[in-house]
Structure 1
Amino acid sequence: MNGRTTVAHRILQFNEELAGTTLELPPGFTVINPFSGPQQERVCEVTTAFYHKYYDDHEPRRLVLGSSPARRGTAVTGVPFEDAKLLESETGVDVDGYAVSRPSAGFLHDVIRRYGGRDRFYADFVMSFVCPLGLVRTNPKGNEVNCNYYENKKLLELLRSFLVDTLERQLAFGTDTSVCYCIGSGENFKFLSKVNEGQRFFQRIVPLEHPRFITQYNREREEEFAEKYLSALRGEGD
């Protein structure tokens, strides 16, 4: 760990490097890069305020990894799983016009609140993605829709080296590699586990159901899944 820079500095430097990233994708797929897009100045302002508020220290944290940013969520704000309205209230930065309320963010924010609040949660964890840039595909109707890196064999093939490289670079945040939490207990967990078999980035990976799966298809079990998240994050049963 580089003691001369804070965790905030390292995360923001990682984002700056992402700003200059170009990726080869199959026809019909597009990258959404919040760090080099039309709102990059606003994104820079928001992310700088957020990370300096919660990560201006040198303490190790564990990674919580989703698959990739949603085109109307993190791909807009630049802060993983944070809703724009909540970011505005937390950082004081005006993100008017991008205040899209996401059910996934709502579930996770409830977990964060029950964990002990943002200060405590972000002191222990960094939330990020296996693929830190947003991906969209054009559907048969000509509309752009969210896409995950694993949805298409050719897409995954072209992205694989980028995914492995950015996973390794995120360890430079000063990450506690004893455990990683994977949001998405299906294909995201499968890919991350396979990479980890070869790279040994983490001692173990704990899968957690995706909040969208919970809120859209299992709302009656939301309390059960929230408790599962909290138990895993607190290390209960280890």
Structure 2
Amino acid sequence: METFADRAIPYYLNLTDPTNLPPGVGVLNPFRQPEVAQICREFYGKFFSDTTPRVYVLGINPGRFGAGVTGISFTTPQNLKRYCGIDNNLPPTPELSSRFIYQIVEAFGGAEAFYGRFFLSSLYPLALVKEGKNYNFYDDKATTATLWPDIIASVRQQIAFGCNRNVVVCLGRKNEAFLQKLNQQHGFFGKIVTLDHPRYILQYRSRDLDSYVDKYVTTLADCVSL
């Protein structure tokens, strides 16, 4: 029987770049690098070599300092090594979201316990950039329209890895509008639960960090039982 890892690894290693993005919008595809391809095989082989359905936790699209470098959602090279036990030669990167996410991972007992229940990913699987900065697929209408068919296909393919379709956790309030639209069109998930995006929390609500960590942990734990 195919495992979650058996389905996920080929998906990521065969991602292709969009060819019709609006002028000035670029894409980062780290999986073309042999080291990132190996990280992908090792990460999914280590944490997802089973058939247990995961609760999906979906962001927008990767950032250039997290999955845009490592290929692993919300994971910098240094956190990949420190928390996941996967050594690598990638240069360390600053990524606020990764710092917050791995507080959540640790609150669940570490990477093995967390990834045994959850799958972190994004509606669109590749990092977008504009003028050297992170860019979101919804930041302009032309980019949204261009990538929408790819987003539909991406979510459908990722669900096939091994998804608990009773519920999905959406990261980001603006992201929610697009996930709701997607779900209304295709009925991918039974329920959408939305949490504030980690970057928003650390940039604008850092004084309330402990309460946000508690909110994440409680919400995610509740979703597992749905």
| TM-score range for the pair, normalised by the shorter chain length | over 0.9
Q: In the aligned structure 1, how far is the partner of 2:36 from the partner of 2:13?
A: 11
Of residues 177, 182, 187 in structure 2, which corresponds to 1:200? 187
| Contact in 2 for aligned 1:49/1:91 (Cα 8 Å) | no
Distance in 1 separating the partners of 2:124 and 2:204: 24
Aligned to 1:128: 121
Tell me the percent identity: 33
Question: Which digits, 9 at most, give the CA deviation of each residue in 1:69-127, with x for residues without a partner?
Answer: 11122111000011211212434432242x11322111111111112221111000111
Q: Which amino acid aligns with 2:205?
A: N
Contact 1:34 1:78 in 2 (8 A): yes
Query: Would you say 1:221 and 2:208 are equivalent positions?
Result: yes
In 2: Cα distance, 1:92 partner to 1:195 partner: 34
Corresponding residue for residue 178 of structure 1: 166
Name the residue aligned to 1:108.
101
Whether 1:10 aligns to 2:7 is yes
| Partner of residue 95, structure 1 | 89
Which 5+ residue runs of structure 1 have no aligned equivalent? 139-143
The residue that corresponds to 2:30 in the other structure is: 34
Q: TM-score, normalised by structure 2?
A: 0.94
Q: For 1:7 and 1:148, how far apart are their aligned partners in 2?
A: 27
- Residue 141 of structure 1 corresponds to none
Distance 2:199 2:18 in 1: 29
Contact map agreement 2:7 2:161 (CA 8 A) in 1: yes
Structure 1 equivalent of residue 78 of structure 2: 85
Structure 2 unmatched runs, 5+:
none
Residue among 104, 108, 111 paired with 1:118: 111
Contact 1:63 1:125 survives alignment (8 Å): yes
Distance across 1 between alignment mates of 2:133 and 2:94 = 17
Say which of 144, 165, 184 aligns to 2:153.
165
Q: TM-score, normalised by structure 1?
A: 0.90
Counterpart secondary structure, 1:35 = helix
Is 2:170–2:193's contact at 8 Å kept on the other side of the alignment? yes
More helix by share: 2
